[in-house]
Amino acid sequence: MRTITVSLEPVAGGITLFYAFVNGEKVIQEEGNKKRVWKDKIPNSQAIIKVRVVGVGRAKYKLGIDLPGTANDQSLTFSLEGGYHETEILL
Amino acid sequence: MRLKYCCSLFFLLGASVFAQNAKPEILPYLNGVISIKEGMFEAGAEIKINSLIIRPYFRLPMTDKKNSISEIDRFTETWASVIAVEYTKDNTRPNGPVRRFRGTFQGEWGYSDFKYYPTGDKTEESSEARNSFGCEIKLVWFSSQGKESARQFSPQIRIRYSNEWKSSDEVGVVGPPNNNGVVYTTNMVIDEPKALPIFSPAFSFQYYPGRGNFSYAPAVYFDLKGKLNSYNPFNNLGRIRIELWTFFYPIIEGNPNIKIGAAPFLSMRAFGKDGLRPVEYGAQLGFRLGTTFLQFF
């Protein structure tokens, strides 16, 4: 088992909802008005992280992933398109 | 629109500002909650258990709104203890539509000791202790197809009942002439406190068309006020208020979730009498920080 931390943080514009799924299981389902963090242990096998963000226009948010040994403190900033964005990351 | 109506709208323009809030984490399931909202200071805790959030907190009025000062002393007119229970059901999956429901129940209770001077003499003080209470239900739905440029909908309902005791207004009491024959007045409360029962159901429909930085929210309020010092809110005055909000979400790096709103409003008297005209109209401005499309009421 390894410890993973996933965070979603609003950066600019109107972010309404944050969702994060790890291997299909919903781990974050919160309003987007502040940083949301989830931390837990996952199996050593492959992990799929899917993020769905709902907001207004081209609002921006930051996705942070910390998986020691595989992805140390990685963060990416995304822009929504037409009030929505989703991304999937394989670890 | 004719010029005189434009001018009337300008002079009736109201503005409201909402301040920030903070939630320091105390334990994994327990947050502290501190906020300043609409001239009130709130402090308490937030306990999260799965889909349920329980918030017990205190609410105090700002004695000095400009400097955000809250003060507890024997002159503090009203304070309230509040318990709010929030339930969220979210059916969103890794693929497909985004569907969410949130229901909130809030109960409020406050105890105040009111002092007044029925004879107009500061040496003859009367006091009455009163309990104020209120309750509120908010229901918020959200729906979207969960894809780029999809329309977003959020119908919302708020129902509120309150029975709040307030001090009567101060009046100037004329005193006897002093040794030089000068007559002066002293401001003091001479009437006993009053309670006004209010029942206010409201409905709004938040809509984002899937493009641009604007959302729209028509809202209808039905404000019912009862007779003073009674519990029945249906026997005195009813006004229907319609607001048509347009919200703008500016994209400013490092300052997310700012919402600037403007709305024309129309207020119509349904029954009873008050100091306003049967039909009032005007416009409102709103500015919110740290908020979202879903947060309206």
Residues 6+ apart with CB under 8 A from B149: A81, A82, A83, A84, B210, B211
DSSP H/E element including A1 = none
d(CA A46, CA A91): 6
Interval B174-189 mean pLDDT:
84
Which residues make beta-bridge pairs with B108?
B82, B134
Q: Which residues of B touch A29 (CB under 8 A)?
A: 88, 90, 92, 100
Q: Is B50 left (phi over 0), alpha (psi -120 to 50) or beta?
A: left
Which of B262, B286, B285, B282 shows the shortest CA–CA distance to B10? B282
Smallest CA–CA distance, residue A70 to chain B, in Å, is 23
- The secondary structure of residue B53, as a DSSP letter, is E
Residues 6+ apart with CB under 8 A from B50: none
Do the domain assignments include residue B19? Answer: no
Q: Which residues of A touch B100 (CB under 8 A)?
A: 17, 29
Select the residue of A16, A19, A85 nearest B292 (Cβ to Cβ).
Answer: A16
DSSP H/E element including B67 = none
B246-288: pLDDT as tens digits = 999 999 998 999 999 999 999 999 999 888 889 999 999 989 8
Q: Decide: residue B224, CB within 10 A, 0-12 exposed, 13-18 middle, 19+ buried.
A: buried
Q: Which residues of B touch A59 (CB under 8 A)?
A: 249, 251, 256
- Residue B151's pLDDT band, with cuts at 50, 70 and 90, is very high
Structure tokens that stand for B174 in this block: 């004329």
pLDDT at B85: 94
Select the residue of A21, A26, A33 nearest B291 (Cβ to Cβ).
Answer: A33
Higher pLDDT, B22 or B4: B22
Do the domain assignments include residue B114? Answer: yes
A46-57: pLDDT as tens digits = 889 999 999 999
Structure tokens that stand for B112 in this block: 């105040």
Coil, helix or strand for B225? strand
Average pLDDT, chain A: 91
Q: Which residues of A touch B92 (CB under 8 A)?
A: 17, 19, 26, 29, 52
Higher pLDDT, B218 or B74: B218
**Are residues B295 and A10, on separate chains, in Cβ contact within 8 Å?**
no
Do the domain assignments include residue B61? Answer: no
Structure tokens that stand for B49 in this block: 């258990």
Residues spanned by the domain of B191: 76-289
Best probe of the B interface among A79, A84, A86, A88, by most B CBs < 10 A, is: A84
**Are residues B146 and A52, on separate chains, in Cβ contact within 8 Å?**
yes
Do the domain assignments include residue B142? Answer: yes
pTM: 0.80
> Any alpha helices (H) in chain B, and if so which ranges?
3-11
Average pLDDT, chain B: 84
Which of B101, B93, B80 shows the shortest CA–CA distance to B145? B93
B26-72: pLDDT as tens digits = 676 777 777 777 677 888 888 888 888 898 988 887 766 566 666 66
Higher pLDDT, B20 or B6: B20
User: What total number of domains does chain B contain?
Assistant: 1
Do the domain assignments include residue B62? Answer: no
d(CA A31, CA B292): 7
Select the residue of A14, A52, A57 nearest B257 (Cβ to Cβ).
Answer: A14
d(CA B81, CA B297): 20
pLDDT at B20: 56
Within 13 Å of residue B127, how many CA atoms lie on the same side as its CB? 10
Query: CB contacts < 8 Å between A and B, how many?
Result: 120
**Are residues B213 and A32, on separate chains, in Cβ contact within 8 Å?**
no
Do the domain assignments include residue B186? Answer: yes
Find the Cα–Cα–Cα–Cα dihedral B184, B189, B191, B195, rounded to 10°.
150
For residue B189, the one-letter residue type is: V
| Whole-Å CA distances, A85 to A16, A63, B208 | 12, 12, 15
Do the domain assignments include residue B70? Answer: no
- Residue A87's pLDDT band, with cuts at 50, 70 and 90, is very high
pLDDT at B7: 40
Residues 6+ apart with CB under 8 A from B281: B8, B9, B12, B264, B265, B266, B267
Q: Which residues of A touch B251 (CB under 8 A)?
A: 12-13, 57-60
Residues 6+ apart with CB under 8 A from A12: A59, A60, B251, B252, B253, B254, B255, B256
